[in-house]
Amino acid sequence: MTDTAVDGGHDTLVAAVDWGGTWIRAAAVSGGRVVRRDRRAKPSSLAEQYATVAGMVLGVTSHLAQAPAAVGVGLAGVVQEGIVGTALNLGFTDGTDVAAALRPHLPLPTYLLNDVQATALGVAARWPHGTTAVLTMGTGIGGAVVRDGSLDAGLGGAGDFGHVVIDVDGPRCPCGGTGCLEALVSGRGLAEAANALAEEGSSPLLAARARGGRVLHGGDLQDAAEGGDGRAADVLDRSAVALSAGLRTIVATHDPQRIVLAGAALAPDTWFGRAVRTHWDRTRPRWARTELHHVGDDEDAALLGAASHALDRFTAARSGS
């Protein structure tokens, strides 16, 4: 699918890839705008995935006014200094230099980052100056810190807010820790709570929705709370307390101009979104000047963020900095 057939102006053309567990998306990006895009289902084998990524990049950048200078890849896995530690949904189980593996198929400078970091870069572009912390809530909790438009990633994992410890005596987290924010509140956790309330019959609305084998999710829990269901409201309120504690940690460690809450569940017009803001207003440090913002789902954010990261790294490499 093509938004614009040719590259507009003299902006550097960059290719971007959003390499997820279900879909691989690629785009040609110029001047902060997607000018051509493609999406394909992720093949099962790594060899096929490499070939697909390379083919998609070459496809979206062909017949444009200029060749791409670099490729940015946002990948659903742990990425540290360009090396993919693990990305189980893609088939990576140990340290892999993905850029090197792509080079025979794609002879362009290629720069990797985590897919949530790519999304955060794309989202934070709305605020090009100052420090922006982005917290995402989907199946899990993720995030990143962006300073003046550039990712502040440390060795690769800085801003992974889902693994801030909120309760040292809390539940075990898949990361191996205890009491992580993600273990206390996440889309996965809210879905599990909704199905548990339905199964025990303590929530009439959720029990009714679950009849016939329907699997519930966090949105059902919010609907139940909006309808006056006290048990659902209690679950969401406890989760909101945990999330507001996570926001305090972000402020204490980064003191950003803004925290951007990303994801439909955190919208200010939802039950959970309102609860998070209520607890934040009650518990925020008195000195904190950080503002809370919300952005909805943005399909192009990861692509634009990956492109921005690649352009920054490419420009720095050329200048020798």
Distance CA 186, CA 260 (A): 16
Q: Which helix (H) or strand (E) holds 252?
A: helix 230-254
Q: What pLDDT was estimated at residue 321?
A: 61
| Residues 72-89: b if buried by 16+ CB within 10 A, e if exposed | bbbbbbbbbebbbeebee
Contact between 232 and 152 under an 8 Å Cβ cutoff? The reply is no
In the chain, % of residues over pLDDT 70: 97
Q: Which two tokens stand for residue 130?
A: 């100052």
Distance CA 122, CA 132 (A): 11
CA-based torsion, 310, 311, 315, 318: positive or negative: positive
Break the chain into its structural domains and give their ranges.
Answer: 13-108, 127-295
One fold for 13-108 and 127-295: yes
What one-character-per-residue DSSP string does 35-53 give?
EEEEEEEPPSSHHHHHHHH
Distance CA 226, CA 125 (A): 33
What one-character-per-residue DSSP string does 127-176 give?
S-SSEEEEEEESSSEEEEEEETTEE--TTTTTT-GGGSBS-TTS-B-TTS
Distance CA 35, CA 28 (A): 6
Q: Residue 46: count other Cβ atoms within 10 Å of its Cβ.
A: 15
Q: What pLDDT was estimated at residue 8?
A: 37
Which regions in the chain score pLDDT beneath 70?
Answer: 1-10, 321
Q: Which two tokens stand for residue 218?
A: 């966090």
pTM (two decimals): 0.88
Residue partners of 197: CB distance under 8 A and separation at least 6 = 203, 206, 207, 221, 224, 231, 232, 235
Q: What pLDDT was estimated at residue 80?
A: 86
The CATH homologous superfamily to which domain 127-295 belongs is: ATPase, nucleotide binding domain (3.30.420.40)
Contact between 272 and 240 under an 8 Å Cβ cutoff? The reply is yes
Q: What pLDDT was estimated at residue 27?
A: 97
Residue type, 39: R
* Helix, strand, coil distribution of the chain in percent, nearest 5: 40, 25, 35
Residue partners of 195: CB distance under 8 A and separation at least 6 = 206, 210, 215, 216
What one-character-per-residue DSSP string does 200-222 give?
HT--HHHHHHHTTSPPP-HHHHH
CATH topology of domain 13-108: Nucleotidyltransferase; domain 5 (3.30.420)
